[in-house]
Structure 1
Amino acid sequence: MDNGNSVTTKLLTLLNVSATKIGKRKRTYEDHFVPSSKLNKRKSASFAIADEPVQSEGVEDANQGGKPDVDVDMDPVTVEGGKKDVEGDENATEGFEKHFGNDPAILTEASRTTVDSRSWKITNEKLGSLGSAKVSKVESSEATASSLPSPDILDRLKVPLKDRQAKSSPQITQLQNELLSVLSTRRDLYSTHTPLETRQSAREAIALHALNHVTKKRRRILKNNERLAHASKSSPDKLPEDVQDQGFTRPSVLILLPFRSSAMNWFHALTSHTPSPSYQVENQSRFLSEYGLPAGAVDKLATAEQGVYPPDHVDTFRGNVDDNFRIGVKMTRKSVKMFTEFYSCDVVLASPLGLRRSIDKEKHADYLSSIEILIIDQMETLTMQNWDHVKFVLSHVNQLPKESHDTDFSRIKSWYLDGHASYLRQTIALTAYETPETRALYNSLTNISGKIRTEKIYPPAPVPEGINQALVHFDCTSPQDEPDKRFHHFTTQVLPALLKSAVQSTNTIVFIPSSFDFIRVHNWFRQQSGVEFTILSEYSTNQEISRARQAFFKGTKSFLLVSERFHFYKRYKIRGIRNLVFYAPPSYPQFFTEYLSYPFLDDGVEGSDVTCKVLYSKFDWLKLERIVGTEAGLELIKGV
């Protein structure tokens, strides 16, 4: 069965199930309904048993006091033959309707074939403060990224932004405006080098774009509700048919994040566009309590003196770093409602682990079926967690739902019914650096409006002078064979040379980026007789860490195997190093700089006393350019 027939079969099944339900009612956008009492049911206790995944956060607070959860404070709307829309935002809605309307002209068989076959037309363009970028588009695309439109933000939402920008630096204002212009093209954006100093400003701009999207979608639905109500009174036999304005379920924005502290950052970004007293934030105290640090806890990163911990480490791990969470957020004209039940919310803030546990328990992810904007922040951190969780969640986005959830199928946009939602979904991905996993995710995107990947020319990573650095290349023609080829070269060429040297066979650290490689190398060392070694991994206890560091510093252990995840999570400074071997280039360029600086923690160490070897193949390009620089990296790769 081909894909089209499969989609039709699933859709007919949904329709049949929906039609056979007794007492079936059609869902309108402002209806309050709870399709599943199990999904997102809040536990009475604050903490779940380790083997029991935490469920819905917020069903109790979604409908306080028994009041119906109806958006009575929504935007005024235009009724056919009635008054003009009070805000007069027709121009600001044009781009939204062209891309997310019921029958977008860009959604053709030819455009779908182009993105499915990855036959993009790729150009190099300059995007202002966002820098250089590779812009991929189908041949029929109209505007280029160089001719970016003005941000199509609704007038009501512009005011808080302009007020804050008046107090910001011109650089921040320019960045946010240019970012909003790029996002207004509805192209996917893959920002490959998000600086720490502009990260929150970028989040605020993206949050505004998401809020703008939710508001426009909501206003279109309410407008059609009014049209239908008006027509049913005046001409019951001639109801308008062009009212397809919804997806299968309400949530239209999904934000994937690594930690609860990240959700806190996005909460502040979203609410920065909904200032008091005009807006109310419902359940704010509960959110701050559950997503902040527990009462009485002290954040050592926030209270430490400047310079004790690297800035990127402080930014990543400050606050609540629990990685199992999910929360629904409902946005109305005058309120932000936290802990809203998933099928009644507009925005889902979640970690990949949190969503995976929910999907595994409920056996479906219907609330992800109608996502129109997907935001993935701190992708570099997600790769240090478990990237399989990310892939699992994304495999469930924009899939046909398994249940009807009281959906009014007469209001669903045609491209949802055709199974083409992924061709129109806009993905916004932010990372501090690229990895093969994040690049593969970008390559898999199928937005027919196109996609943008920013680029950066990296300078060489700074290292102390005088250190003898050797880049050791090994031949490999296939990425599938690369792990075996690397291990073979390391165990037959690199290590024997180290063991033969009286100087390099002691005080030697082996830094291993991949967890799979770390386990493999660790097992190999265990099988060698006469080689004294110890390890530091992300699973090492505090006692094991202390014992390993002391043994290595005193010289009772000649080799110390360190996993990259250990350094990512702990960031310990290690003394006693004289020789460094990087099993592969580190993901973070600052890790390379830090480890080459650690020998100089000891007194009397000169650069000539330290050696460094980096094992690499042509498949390490993304990592290699960050430590040797883009230009030198190109020469190295061309030379092999």
Structure 2
Amino acid sequence: MPPRGKFSGRRGSARGRGGKFGRGGAKRSFGGAEKFHNTRLEDAEESGSESSGEASSDLKVDSEGSISDVEETPATTQPYMALMQSLERDSVSSAAPTTKRRKIDHPSPKQEVPPAANDENGEVSDDEERDVDHVEEPEEDPSNDVELENDNDDDDDDDDDIPDAEDPFETHFVNPDSNEYNIRLKGVTSNVHQTKQVEKNGWRMFRSIPGQTPDQTTQPPATVPGPSGLKLKHRLIETSNKLCPSFDRLEQVLYPITFSYQDLLFCGRNATNAGNLRRMTCLHAINHVFKTRDRVIKNNAKLAKEGETTDFEPRDQGFTRPKVLMILPTREAAVKVVNAICAVCEPDQQENRKRFDESYIDREVKFSADKPADFRDLFEGNDDDMFRIGIKFTRKTIKYFAQFYNSDILLASPLGLRMAIGSEGDKKKMDYDFLSSIEVVIVDHADALLNQNWEHVEYIFEHLNRQPRDAHGCDFSRVREWYLDNQAENFRQTIVLSAFNTPELSELHRCSKNWAGRVRVQPEYNGMIQELGLVKAKQTFSRFEAPSIADEPDARFTYFTSAIVPSLIKLAGRKGSSADAGGTLIFIPSYLDFVRVRNYFSTADAVESLSFGAISEYADVREASRARSHFLSGRHKVLLYTERSHHFRRYVIAGVRRVIMYGLPDNPIFYREIVGGFLAKSEQDMLLEPGRGSVRVVFSKYDVLKLERVVGSKRVGKMIRERGDTFDFI
């Protein structure tokens, strides 16, 4: 198992979300534990403060296997020989157009890097390390990819010079219909969308098309039975048919949306369908990269053939080379993506693959089979959430750890990419130009990213598709006009895959400016209250009123202290009774609310008789074990428990006889595990009489998304709108 760096580990992941860089900032701080919130990013910024630009140089592979996500830049070798070689190459290819300049300081195959470039252990020196993967590197011209040029004759691709008018790549990026595009662009600018809900294969689709085009929202996209119905590069068709000859009912819904370049928010990801979704997004990403690069190469060849007398002026490029960005939660997720990419394109060679495996793969078995499938899917393997890596494609080779400006696909965690961009406080060292020409963004396992630090994701999207500050060797005569018109975000496709929907994901989806429109796909929820197993517990849902979402936290706390706590105090007076306040678990989704409730139990005279313990995401193993032990023995009558501590640890807490949910969890599986699992364990341990457990849930109208997943889509409207404020389920 490779040793982890400063930013690794699940608890490290938890520390990214709160405080200065967490959800909601620190405006609602009520206790002392908030000081830990800034630890992770501040430490990261300190460690990278000496490096400039993209800051990718802060991680390297050393003899002990520490982690590096960038390509080592060789030292300049024999400038005279390099100059002579470049002149010789120029004389051979003098007929070709000089679109961009290529760096010539890389050693030729027969040259060796001078020993002075490395230390005695073969490691890159500190001074050189700071310059590794700088985003000042110019974009390479596709015509300079030797493998691509040499393999043209062996390629059996179909791609003739006549564009396919039905290919979404052509109609979206290359030759969009001007009338339709102008109408939709006006709709995007004025935020006018025509939205329609449709049902397909058991999934609810909410389609939104910008502009006054309501007829286009009435019908879902045509069904695609399998890969043969997609506009794929020929080199991908065979492998796609071999991997998945036909699509299942869900894939028939998602593939047409994905390959039509519409924005997609899918709210049904789970451990079962994760592999199929990953294959879909990787196939789409590679297909897009191949079509983009092949078009550039063919235009280069055409320009070289016709010479300077031609009137042919292709517009086939962006400002920089990277075209696809994949935001992932862990290194293990990156490994799964890389394996899916290799399965789809079947490269002849994989450069730096051994280094990738050493840095990203952790084969240690860390969890037993009793852990939930979704937990093992996320945290099994290398769960480090600080990484970024560039992947470069040639016709027969995949190169890992390519420098960002020479990469086609970027894989990164939110924290890793934010550190690469830099901080707003030091604009001179900031560099986000490598994100200027991103055309497809894939956010996988977005529900896991919500439990890291969602502000990092927002920060990344704020810096996508900005006009670059430097040219980076760009040939502006070949840049597509909509890039020059600062309309790149209107062409960018964003794909978000999550287990459930949240206000953060909805906001990200709603703010889409893609002229092709957006689609949200989610299931019809039966309600998690139907899946509690053999446990029969009375479940009471109590609604409180809040004048606005800004006042909702205060209204929730007031309702809790005035309506919930008095009943606990009353139970606490029943000494020796089986119905006393002992065994009360209070589940609190937000850490800021947790601090507020913890401080209340610590200082308020009204709850002096209620002894309590607490487990948050910041509690270490010993602290959590002690709190669980005291709760089971009855020394603590109340246990405060946060959602993120359950997300990162999945504790099975014994001794629970009563569950009070200060708020509903985002993840509906947690409701089943806490209500059904904890109470069932108490019944099995003879600590609770069957059917005597109870659940009290506090909710407001702003919890509609969470409530729908727990009580079901058919009940949620009634519970939000009815005049009554109490709803019982048995």
**Does the alignment reach a TM-score above 0.5?**
yes
Q: 3-state SS of the aligned residue for 2:167?
A: helix
Aligned match of 1:521: 597
Letter in 2 for 1:134: F
1:374 and 2:445 matched: no
Conservation of the 8 A alpha-carbon contact between 1:126 and 1:146: no
Q: 2:351 aligns with which of 250, 263, 282?
A: 282
Identity within the alignment, % = 33
Which sections of structure 2, spanning at least 5 residues, go unmatched?
1-51, 75-102, 110-139, 424-428, 724-730
- Residue 620 (structure 1) shift: 0.4
Conservation of the 8 A alpha-carbon contact between 2:364 and 2:381: no
Q: 3-state SS of the aligned residue for 1:255?
A: strand
The separation in 2 between residues aligned to 1:421 and 1:87, in whole angstroms, is 26
The separation in 2 between residues aligned to 1:240 and 1:77, in whole angstroms, is 25
**Structure 1 residues 621 and 178, CA, compared in 2 at 3 Å: closer, same or farther?**
closer
Aligned match of 2:621: 542
- Residue 239 (structure 1) shift: 4.1
Conservation of the 8 A alpha-carbon contact between 1:512 and 1:564: yes
Aligned match of 1:117: 190
Conservation of the 8 A alpha-carbon contact between 2:390 and 2:409: yes
The separation in 1 between residues aligned to 2:421 and 2:264, in whole angstroms, is 27
1:59 and 2:121 matched: no
The separation in 2 between residues aligned to 1:94 and 1:630, in whole angstroms, is 37
Q: 1:600 aligns with which of 671, 680, 705?
A: 680
Aligned match of 1:557: 636
Letter in 2 for 1:209: H
The separation in 1 between residues aligned to 2:184 and 2:580, in whole angstroms, is 58
Q: 2:147 aligns with which of 48, 57, 73?
A: 73
Conservation of the 8 A alpha-carbon contact between 1:127 and 1:146: no
The total of aligned residue pairs comes to 580
TM alignment of 1:220-231, pairs within 5 A: 220-231=295-306
Conservation of the 8 A alpha-carbon contact between 1:141 and 1:449: no
TM alignment of 1:612-623, pairs within 5 A: 612-623=695-706
- Residue 180 (structure 1) shift: 2.8
Letter in 2 for 1:493: A
Aligned match of 1:633: 716
Cα shift readout 1:90-119 (whole Å, capped 9, x = no counterpart): 438732122111665267454223123332
TM alignment of 1:193-204, pairs within 5 A: 193-204=268-279
Q: 1:330 aligns with which of 379, 392, 396?
A: 392
1:136 and 2:202 matched: no
- Residue 504 (structure 1) shift: 5.1
Cα shift readout 1:331-380 (whole Å, capped 9, x = no counterpart): 22111111110000000000010011111164121100111001000010
- Residue 244 (structure 1) shift: 1.3
Q: 3-state SS of the aligned residue for 2:639?
A: strand
Conservation of the 8 A alpha-carbon contact between 2:54 and 2:421: no
Aligned match of 1:211: 286
The separation in 2 between residues aligned to 1:356 and 1:274, in whole angstroms, is 29
- Residue 564 (structure 1) shift: 0.3
Letter in 1 for 2:208: S
Aligned match of 1:460: 527
1:611 and 2:678 matched: no
TM alignment of 1:153-232, pairs within 5 A: 153-166=232-245, 172=248, 175-176=250-251, 178-232=253-307
1:40 and 2:53 matched: no
Conservation of the 8 A alpha-carbon contact between 1:39 and 1:56: no
- Residue 466 (structure 1) shift: 2.9
1:590 and 2:669 matched: yes
Letter in 2 for 1:219: D
Which sections of structure 1, spanning at least 5 residues, go unmatched?
1-35
Conservation of the 8 A alpha-carbon contact between 2:324 and 2:438: yes
Conservation of the 8 A alpha-carbon contact between 1:327 and 1:338: yes
- Residue 181 (structure 1) shift: 2.5
Aligned match of 2:133: none
**Structure 1 residues 141 and 220, CA, compared in 2 at 3 Å: closer, same or farther?**
farther
1:394 and 2:477 matched: no
TM-score by length of 2: 0.75
Q: 2:365 aligns with which of 293, 299, 305?
A: 299
The separation in 1 between residues aligned to 2:173 and 2:414, in whole angstroms, is 26
Letter in 1 for 2:340: A
**Structure 1 residues 337 and 349, CA, compared in 2 at 3 Å: closer, same or farther?**
same
Q: 2:414 aligns with which of 346, 352, 362?
A: 352
Q: 1:240 aligns with which of 309, 312, 317?
A: 312
The separation in 1 between residues aligned to 2:235 and 2:441, in whole angstroms, is 24
Letter in 2 for 1:225: N
The separation in 2 between residues aligned to 1:321 and 1:93, in whole angstroms, is 42
Aligned match of 1:100: 173
Letter in 2 for 1:355: L
Between stretches 604-613 and 429-438, larger displacement belongs to: 604-613
- Residue 600 (structure 1) shift: 2.9
Aligned match of 2:727: none
Between stretches 280-289 and 561-570, larger displacement belongs to: 280-289
The separation in 1 between residues aligned to 2:616 and 2:157, in whole angstroms, is 60
**Structure 1 residues 582 and 359, CA, compared in 2 at 3 Å: closer, same or farther?**
same
Aligned match of 1:271: 342
TM alignment of 1:411-560, pairs within 5 A: 411-461=478-528, 462-463=531-532, 464-501=534-571, 502=574, 503=579, 505-529=581-605, 530=608, 531-560=610-639
- Residue 74 (structure 1) shift: 2.5
- Residue 518 (structure 1) shift: 1.3
1:258 and 2:320 matched: no
Cα shift readout 1:193-236 (whole Å, capped 9, x = no counterpart): 1232111111111111111111111111112212222232xxx3
Cα shift readout 1:513-541 (whole Å, capped 9, x = no counterpart): 11221122122222124231111011111
Q: 3-state SS of the aligned residue for 1:329?
A: strand
Cα shift readout 1:598-627 (whole Å, capped 9, x = no counterpart): 133233322432111000001101111111
RMSD, matched Cα? 2.9
The separation in 2 between residues aligned to 1:608 and 1:292, in whole angstroms, is 46
1:342 and 2:390 matched: no
TM-score by length of 1: 0.85
Cα shift readout 1:304-355 (whole Å, capped 9, x = no counterpart): 2x3x111111111111010010000012211111111000000000001001
Letter in 2 for 1:598: F
TM alignment of 1:76-95, pairs within 5 A: 86-88=158-160, 90-91=163-164, 94-95=167-168
